[in-house]
């Protein structure tokens, strides 16, 4: 069963309602943007979070699971943030429709995971997609294929805000249409918009009426963000007065994550600190792995009743992210956005849970795609798990050059995905192709000089090798 809320077409009263609500929301954020002067945090007031405010996952899991797992699952809704396009990977349309493994898209894998839960425990966990005006139409078309799956799928739309000219601070669009010159004049205002648009769509009330209590929210391109029964059990088993309204899954920073947002204690509350809020003089300190040891995976568990209460009280407070863009014609604009995790400070008894790195497996680039398509992972009921044959739990560091940026081009460069079980580091630059059954181990660096082409022959085994311009293979 598929239901859709709040179509964004501006005709009839429903459409006018949506645009009116969007306009209200934009007016509020724009008003705040004009008022806020200076940084949103004072560096001197930042403190480390108290010990008990970030729990180790092992401690949560050690409690075990109750006999009636189904009772907890029937209180859960899975929400995937589905507003993004696949443009950074050279694809048109919603990112969630890119094939990531055995012809399965991000959306296919999500549906398989939830269907597996519903069948295993005889439950009714629905899937909710937060679309944007960019992804809504294409996503709805594809949803027909899941009609006979054991998952109820609902959609609602993010708001639509006008981009503002950086100099004049006036909207770029001249009217409400999305076509012609105006098409670049609008944007979805970041995933922090989930609270308002979920509430405005009417779907929040409907789910509460069905007895749902928590949503598990994550980015649709994070393949590690599966429903965790231990975290869910921890949430629903707390006594009512002590119920945790907001859980943020965090994980240990590595050098690759220095820009990720982190949890701090600020004015007595847990708070998300993003790199955009850090004064320039302190950016290096923010990036240090020793001072800020964890970062936000954007896997969040949030109480539905609390969202309703805070929305009605207009009490959700999120810092504004000012996102500068340059339009195709060269015009400089700003987008005012918010992040879903920034609302943590508005909820009661908020908690961080330090989860294993495996729960953070985002696919932002074709370098990430290579990892998830490889034999490092096996696929079972829509979930990817690291192969037991891999001796250490970290993923290899992969950097593919600009010839691999677009998915179509990337796919033509591999006759088959190499064996990467023993790989630590791979850098590929220039015009490089891989034959069938190539094996990569240790540190492998392949650099084709400009104008040269390197074809790695079928069946090659490269271990700690540098392959340079004219296909000389050197020990690393």
Query: Of 44, 203, 18, nearest to 128 (Cα)?
Result: 203
User: How distant, in Å, are the alpha carbons of 80, 133, 169, 280, 336 from that of 34?
Assistant: 32, 26, 10, 21, 11
Residue 364 known to bind ligand: yes
Give SS3 for 377: strand
Cα separation, 328 vs 326, in Å, equals: 7
Residues near 452 by beta carbon (within 8 Å), at least 6 away in sequence: 430, 431, 469, 470
Cα separation, 378 vs 207, in Å, equals: 34
SS3 content of the chain, % helix, strand, coil (to 5): 35, 30, 35
Residue 158 known to bind ligand: yes
Annotated catalytic, 364? yes
Q: Rounded to 5 degrees, what are φ and ψ at 167?
A: -80, -55
The sign of the torsion formed by the CA atoms of 140, 142, 148, 151 equals: negative
Query: Of 417, 303, 285, 406, nearest to 350 (Cα)?
Result: 303
CB-count burial class (<10 Å; 0-12, 13-18, 19+) for 413: middle
Of residues 287, 293, 308, 364, which has the active-site annotation?
364
Q: Rounded to 5 degrees, what are φ and ψ at 260?
A: -65, 145
Q: In this structure, what DSSP letter does residue 149 have?
A: S
Cα separation, 425 vs 254, in Å, equals: 15
CA 355 to chain centre: 16
Residue 366 neighbours by CB distance under 10 Å:
21
Cα separation, 125 vs 156, in Å, equals: 17
Q: Known binding site: residues?
A: 95, 158, 190-191, 221, 364
Q: Known binding site for UTP: residues?
A: 95, 158, 190, 221, 364
Q: Known binding site for substrate: residues?
A: 191
The residues annotated with a catalytic role in the active site are 364
């Amino acid at each position: 069963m598929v239901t859709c809320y709040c179509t964004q077409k501006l005709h009839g009263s429903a459409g006018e309602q949506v645009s009116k609500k969007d306009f209200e929301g934009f007016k509020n954020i724009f008003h705040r943007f004009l008022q806020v002067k200076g940084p949103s945090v004072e560096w001197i007031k930042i403190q480390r979070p108290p010990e008990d405010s970030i729990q180790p996952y092992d401690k949560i899991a050690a409690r075990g699971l109750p006999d009636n797992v189904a009772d907890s699952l029937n209180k859960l809704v899975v929400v995937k943030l589905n507003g993004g396009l696949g443009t950074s990977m050279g694809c048109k349309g919603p990112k969630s429709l890119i094939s990531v493994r055995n012809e399965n898209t991000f959306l296919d894998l999500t549906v398989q995971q939830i269907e597996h839960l519903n069948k295993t425990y005889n439950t009714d966990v629905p899937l909710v997609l937060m679309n944007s005006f960019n992804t809504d139409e294409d996503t709805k078309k594809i949803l027909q294929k899941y009609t006979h799956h054991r998952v109820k799928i609902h959609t609602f739309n993010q708001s639509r805000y006008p981009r503002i000219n950086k100099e004049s601070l006036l909207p770029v669009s001249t009217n409400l249409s999305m076509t012609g010159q105006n098409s670049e004049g609008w944007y979805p205002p970041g995933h922090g918009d989930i609270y308002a648009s979920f509430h405005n769509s009417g779907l929040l009330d409907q789910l509460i009426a069905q007895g749902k209590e928590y949503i598990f929210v994550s980015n649709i391109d994070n393949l590690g963000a599966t429903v965790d029964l231990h975290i869910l059990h921890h949430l629903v088993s707390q006594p009512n007065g002590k119920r945790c309204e907001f859980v943020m899954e965090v994980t240990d920073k590595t050098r690759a994550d220095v820009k990720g947002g982190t949890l701090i204690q600020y004015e007595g509350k847990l708070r998300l600190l993003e790199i955009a809020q850090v004064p320039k003089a302190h950016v290096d300190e923010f990036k240090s792995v020793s001072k800020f040891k964890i970062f936000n995976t954007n896997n969040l568990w949030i109480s539905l009743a609390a969202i309703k209460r805070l929305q009605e009280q207009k009490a959700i407070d999120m810092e504004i992210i000012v996102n500068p863009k340059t339009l195709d014609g060269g015009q400089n604009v700003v987008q005012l956005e918010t992040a879903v995790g920034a609302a943590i400070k508005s909820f009661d008894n908020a908690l961080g849970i330090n989860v294993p790195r495996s729960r953070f497996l985002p696919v932002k680039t074709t370098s990430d795609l290579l990892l998830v398509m490889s034999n490092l992972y096996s696929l079972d009921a829509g979930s990817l798990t690291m192969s037991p044959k891999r001796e250490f739990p970290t993923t290899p560091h992969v950097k593919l050059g600009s010839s691999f940026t677009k998915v179509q081009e990337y796919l033509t460069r591999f006759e088959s995905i190499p064996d990467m079980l023993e790989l630590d580091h791979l850098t590929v630059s220039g015009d490089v192709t891989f034959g069938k059954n190539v094996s990569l181990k240790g540190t492998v660096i392949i650099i084709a000089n400009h104008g040269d082409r390197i074809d790695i022959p079928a069946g090659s085994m490269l271990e700690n090798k540098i392959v340079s311009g004219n296909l000389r293979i050197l020990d690393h």
